[in-house]
A and B are shown apart, each in its own frame.
Chain A
């Protein structure tokens, strides 16, 4: 069977504008959440924000027509390509695909244009409102920018979108459709519409008086997630294709599985049934046993329901779950980008032998039986790790990453 190498990665996150700065910030184990002027006046007015994201400066000539999530995805894709030492002039363009996950679309654009309708100004609607806002545009703009002309599409599985995109990209490689796929997620939900909606669902932390301590994955005092934004793109490549370029992969994507809870439209199955099934199926896909896994980069949203169900799923699969971390304590929940950022950071974890700590995790909840890495990075000799993502609608994805 085709082995899938990860030969490059790029990250844009509240922890940094590239993979290295994101990694260094995550190792500090502090939160990036703060007050968000865009959310002023709302019951929850905090978020994690990508710092100094000046699309015009960072992305260049196409920035004028890109909404924020698309611009961040494009920046991450460029970093990933450079990291993989890929030059689009050298590749076979029809053999290069792009699969990007987005859980929503450009809320910022919809909000701006809907306001014009409400003001009875339909002719003031931007003629680019659709190409700027629709969720597929993040993948399309990466194709446009790089000349990748193979399969190009967006997947949407809510908060699992980024991980699902990586899994679907893997399928394109295994099926022999592509030699290379740029896969990841892009999202920005720092807007009053999602902020108000998630608040009404009871999903957001209400610790608005202390933003930096709001997102507390697996902690006894957790009370919801913090809105975030960002993007990450992995270069997935047929292992033989990477070898022919004499490129040493960062890691391999050894296994992937997706399941659906078929339980509730928003809440996870209370026992983490679908999550456990995804974990087991991904392990089987990788031909690994639970004991082979040395680390789990958890979904860990810091909502009451997710973290409990996730802990139960891990305890169903593992006799003793390996060390777990959740990046959402540090960078909040970037919805469709989260799974991609977490997969990329899991690759870095395997490479550096360091597990970033879960920011704000001080006291593991009594009903959560997990070894949560907190306070400081922990050394690991893991050669295999799992990155998990679970979305509203009960859509689950698990990625098994290995060092070789």
Chain B
């Protein structure tokens, strides 16, 4: 079963000119060459892949932080279908 890091790696390599080998939990998105607009684009790509909406104003700075956020959101979804979890998450309702 694919891990969250696998999913993120797939999204990043399909959307941006980033090599999978460069994607580690410690890497910042800035290191990977994503500027602020690209980071928002990454959020949309993650949403499309996972159904989880990231909060535009509190996007994670590192790959590891993104893994944590997505794992928390998935855990919450598994427990209940409602409340958002984590400062940078807003469930799947992007109008929140």
Contacts and interface: CB of A to CB of B under 8 A. Distances in A.
B94 A123 contact: yes
Contacts of B56: 123
A64 B15 contact: yes
A43 interface: no
Interface SS of chain B = helix
B19 to A, nearest CB: 11
Nearest to A59: B17
Contacts, number: 26
A315 to B, nearest CB: 53
A124 B56 CA distance: 11
Nearest to A125: B44
Given A126-B44, A127-B40, A128-B37, A61 B94 contact: no
Contacts of A131: 37
B3 interface: no
A201 B86 CA distance: 53
Interface string A44-61: 000000000000100011
B39 to A, nearest CB: 9
Contact of A124 (B16, B17, B44): B44
Contacts of B79: none
A121 B94 contact: yes
Give the most central of B15, B44, B47, B56: most A CB within 10 Å. Answer: B44
Interface string B6-30: 0000000001110000000000000
20 contacts: A60-B17, A61-B17, A62-B17, A63-B17, A64-B15, A64-B16, A64-B17, A65-B38, A123-B56, A123-B94, A123-B95, A124-B44, A124-B47, A124-B94, A126-B41, A127-B37, A127-B40, A127-B44, A128-B37, A128-B41
